[in-house]
Structure formats: C-alpha cells, structure tokens
Chain A
C-alpha cells in the first residue's frame, strides 16, 4: 500500500509518515495542495489522506482537482471538527470517508485498506 499524506502541519505529516513506515506502509508526505497535485502527476498512490483546512485552496477543492487527474484514487478527508456540511460536501465531491483528528493510526490503516479494496472491486 502506498499512501500520500497531505497536511500543512509539517510535524504531523512527518510523524504519521514515520509511524506508517514502522507498520510497513509506504508513505509520502506533502504540505500543500499544489505539492500534492505535482506528486500525483508523477507518482502513483493507492490512497490519499487529505486535510480539509489547507493553506490556500481547501482540501475539498484540491480533491476535485485530484479526481480530474486520476478518479481511480480513493481519498480520505481529514478534519479537525466534523460538521455535517464538511462531511456532506466532502463525500459529494468524491471522498470515500471523512475522519476526525486526533487520528487513531491503526484504525486509519484499516479504513485505508477497506477503501482500496472497495475501489479495486468497482
């Protein structure tokens, strides 16, 4: 499994990447929507974990652009506070799930595996 983590909190991204690698999950971290789009254009990922409140364009806007590049990649949105609007807007725009920070990493891995399996079935 190869994961792209997108969040503008640098320490958060590097720590999640390190903890995923300890669990034998290949992970790459970036800190902006533009970096994410550049990475996706060059590298293939099985799944993307994308923060909703990015600097500049929102995570939902970036996800729409990701889907235009590759609609086959499942995206899980990451949010600090889940409002019904955030969740509805995210799912409508193509997210497979929305999860709330703080993260339970082992649960996240289960969710990522399920999402990838679901996308591969479709």
Chain B
C-alpha cells in the first residue's frame, strides 16, 4: 500500500502528464490553424501580385478565401477558449458545473488525439442541464483516462459513444467502444483513472462482452470533501 505522500506524488505526476498531453495536442492544432491562415493570406498576396500584372481577382474567389480565413480564426478561438476552460478548472477544487459543458470541453480538446487514432466519438447531449458539484479538473482527467482506455481496446478504428445516466444521488458516465477487440487493461491509465475517480468520491467499473467494451464512471452529484 502506498503512503499518502506517494499517492499524492503519483497523482501530481499523472495530472501533469494529462495537462501536458492536452497542451501538446492543442499547440499542434493551433499551429496548424496559424499555418492555414498564413497560407491563405499568402494566397491573397499572390492574387494581388497577379492583379497588378493585369490578371484581375474574381470577387467570388476573394469571398471564398476570406470566408476560409474567418472559419479558421473561429477554429483557433474555439481551441483557445477550451484550453482556457481546462486551465481554469484547477482554480477551485469543488465547484458547481454543468456536466454537458465539461464533456463538450473534453470532446473539443481531445478531437485531434481521437482523430489521429481514427476514433469516432458519438455523444448524445441530454435535453436537461445536469448540474453537479465536483472537482472540475479531476473530472476532466477521469474522462480523458476513460477515453484513452476505451480507445486502447481497439486495434483499429475505435467506435466510442458516451452517455449519461442520472441516479438519485449519483451520475453514471458510460463510455462504450463497440469496436473493441481486447480488454481495457492498460495498467498505467487504469491507475491514473483510479486516482482521479478517488478524488471525485466515485467508483469505476468496466465490462467486456460480445458487443464491445464499456467503462462506467459513477460519481456523486455533490462532492462533499475537497481534496
């Protein structure tokens, strides 16, 4: 059994590793956004040089390029806004949050990571807002670990789905992989998940059957003790 100090150190390192992975991923994606905007503005410069040489720029071409620039600026703003939400999730260890916002935040932050592993993630938002009082950082970390674990259960093209089930005092977040061909057994990630779930005062269970693999996070709607 690890001492409290060892547990704390493990948790600190796992939190840092999670934050680092998300940061690295987002910085790559943000660099792509900057590169695209740079190329599109370069194209506008090329077209203006051609115009000076007597080849006029068509209005619809200009419209298309500027719309594309606007679209990628919006993409960059969305990345920054979501990164900012993750960064501020450490500000309070216990806070009332909208669960759908947390899931949407993690979905955007992990989009590229999932795509690189050819992962499909479907998520049916619930009609009503689900407000819970929890640790905003730990729940993100737990969700990320669940997604990673679920992805690892497929040798190719994981097909993930996420749903929420409300109980009286608790919430289930269920992540399924319908294309799983192995168990959810990565020891390092499991350990990381258990540490985060422990902080949330919850439990985690997993199931493997002929329909695929499933991880279920059960967390209280009201976290009583801050970490």
Is A72 engaged at the interface, CB distance under 8 Å to the other chain? no
Asked whether, in the complex, the Cβ of A80 is within 8 Å of the Cβ of B46, the reply is no
Choose the segment among A7-15, A41-49, A87-95, A110-118 that binds chain B (4+ C-beta atoms closer than 8 Å): A7-15
Is A37 engaged at the interface, CB distance under 8 Å to the other chain? no
Also in contact, A15 and B32, with CB within 8 A (given A22-B50, A55-B115, A55-B116) = no
Is B126 engaged at the interface, CB distance under 8 Å to the other chain? no
Main secondary structure, interface of A, reads loop
| A22 contact set on B, CB distance < 8 A | 46, 50
Asked whether, in the complex, the Cβ of A53 is within 8 Å of the Cβ of B68, the reply is no
Is A18 engaged at the interface, CB distance under 8 Å to the other chain? yes
Measured CA separation A9–B34 after assembly (Å): 12
- Closest Cβ of chain B: how far from A55's Cβ, in Å? 5
- Closest Cβ of chain A: how far from B62's Cβ, in Å? 13
Asked whether, in the complex, the Cβ of B28 is within 8 Å of the Cβ of A80, the reply is yes
Asked whether, in the complex, the Cβ of A19 is within 8 Å of the Cβ of B116, the reply is no
8 Å CB interface, B1-60 against A: 27-28, 31-32, 34-36, 38-40, 42-43, 46, 50
| B68 contact set on A, CB distance < 8 A | 11
Chain A 1-35 interface mask (CB, 8 Å, partner B; 1/0): 00000001101100110110010000000000000
- Closest Cβ of chain A: how far from B165's Cβ, in Å? 31
Q: When the two chains form the complex, which single residue of B36, B42, B50, B117 contacts A9, counting CB atoms closer than 8 Å?
A: B36
| A18 contact set on B, CB distance < 8 A | 43
- Closest Cβ of chain A: how far from B5's Cβ, in Å? 33
Asked whether, in the complex, the Cβ of B118 is within 8 Å of the Cβ of A102, the reply is no
- Closest Cβ of chain B: how far from A6's Cβ, in Å? 14
Interface residues of chain B, those whose CB is within 8 Å of chain A, are 27-28, 31-32, 34-36, 38-40, 42-43, 46, 50, 68, 72, 115-118
Q: What 3 A-B pairs are tightest by C-beta distance, nearest first?
A: A80-B31, A15-B39, A101-B35
Interface residues of chain A, those whose CB is within 8 Å of chain B, are 8-9, 11-12, 15-16, 18-19, 22, 53-56, 80-81, 101-103, 105
